[in-house]
Amino acid sequence: MKQSFFRSIADLRFAIGILLVIACSSIIGTVIEQDQSIETYKLNYPVTSPVLGFLSWDIIIKLGFDHVYKTWWFISFIVIFGASLLTCTFLQQVPSLKIARRCQFFRTTQQFRRLKISKNISHLNLNQLLSTIKDNQYSIFQQKNISYCYKGLIGRIAPIVVHFSMILILLGSVLAAVGGFKAQEIVPKTETFHIQNILSNGQLTLIPKTSARVNDFWITYNKQKTINQFYSHISILNSEGNEIKQETIFVNSPAKYNGVTYYQTDWNLIGLRLRDQNQKLIQYPLTSVLKDRDKIWLSWIPADSNLNDGVTVLISNLQGYCSVYNKFGEFMGNIELNESLNLNPILTLVDIISSTGLQIKSDPGIPIIYAGFAFLMISTLISYVTYSQIWIVKDQNEIYIGGNTTRATFDFELEFSKIIK
């Protein structure tokens, strides 16, 4: 019963069936937005008019379609598929490799009839023939008048390496699903932050206690005054607040520490810092608005204590200046850092306060997945090695010779012809 059970798991049809179920589940996870709020699903999949006539937000939440790759049933299919590959490896691939290493002698001339390539010759000496075969990098085993030769045994290892690589990829995917997390933080310049705004996490995720500080944030522009790149200089801090590591990050160049990756994703302007005649610092908030797909920040600065008069300040970039308009909307000029506004009292622009958007991710399965794909590429190269076999039986003055190969049949036929010439 145990053998029957394991052989049914190792069956190719069973593995293909499980793989199709995993593929269909992945399609569901691709079509339906993952890890969104319940309000998003209520808006896009209302109960009153369900998608496809049955798919509503309550069905999605109940079946776990909002986080397909972390559900117990999807992980179960992954485990079953991995068990199928592992069982197939030990019940089929490893025994096949052992058989390929054995000396498989032909003892009668009738056995050559089942080979695609065979011939009987009388003009060659057996020792001369074996010497030629050895020159073609074959391993030779001989018992009296019968011989067995093979080469390219490493090509038989390729299926085992393929199964091993797929198991590593599946294991890495499960670890990523149950042990990883993704967070998003919007942090003002010079501020310290902890990982708090968790967007998604697995069942076994442990959020690290380390914190970080945004030391500086700046943007570079090209000649057309459009953004070229934006940078954040961050410091990783330990639990006591001491700096462990500092690094400048930008888009496609994250910082990594202790399995956590910090990505540069977004930026924003949040306020203006001004100084009056008494050296007192005053801060005014900035509000963002969209204009022709471009973002503009504006703030209103009162010109008197009664708040009856003032100016509007507009900023469209982070190049260190802002535009000033009076209450009638008339342009009054640009003001740069350390320049003053002629208001009552006179205010000096000290700083434009910016904030950076950081995406923080941890994926413990990534190294294992990369290792799996590395082994998969190695197995692809190994599979190009042809496993070839040659059998020889000497019957009185006749020599019967035949061969077989796993691939590259035409090349093997040419090699076989050269051997018997």
Whether 24 shows a pLDDT value over 80: the answer reads yes
How high is the pLDDT of residue 20? 94
Residues with Cβ within 8 Å of residue 182, at least 6 apart in sequence: 35, 198, 199, 200, 201, 359, 360, 361
Per-residue pLDDT at 291: 67
Whether the pLDDT of residue 307 is over 70: the answer is no
Alpha helices in 89-214 (DSSP H): 94-101, 126-135, 158-179
β partners of residue 311: 301
For residue 393, report the phi and psi dihedrals to the nearest 5 degrees: -130, 125
Mean pLDDT of the chain: 87
pLDDT at 224: 77
Least confident range from 183-187, 197-201, 354-358: namely: 197-201
Q: What is the pLDDT of residue 250?
A: 92
Cα–Cα distances (Å) from 275 to 280, 307, 308, 320, in that order, read 5, 18, 21, 16
* Structural Rg of the chain based on CA atoms: 36
DSSP secondary structure string for all residues of 297-353: EEEEEESSTTSS-EEEEEE-SSSSEEEEE-TT--EEEEEETT-EE-SSS-EEEEEEE
The predicted structure's pLDDT at residue 372? 94
Instruction: Determine the average pLDDT of the residues in 307-328.
Output: 83
Q: Which fold would CATH assign to domain 108-152+386-420?
A: TATA-Binding Protein (3.30.310)
* Per-residue model confidence (pLDDT) at position 343: 73
pLDDT digits 0-9 by tens, 252-290: 899 998 889 999 988 888 888 888 878 888 888 998 887
pTM (2 d.p.): 0.70
Using 50, 70 and 90 to split pLDDT, how confident is the model at 350? confident
The yes-or-no verdict on residue 330 having pLDDT over 90 is no
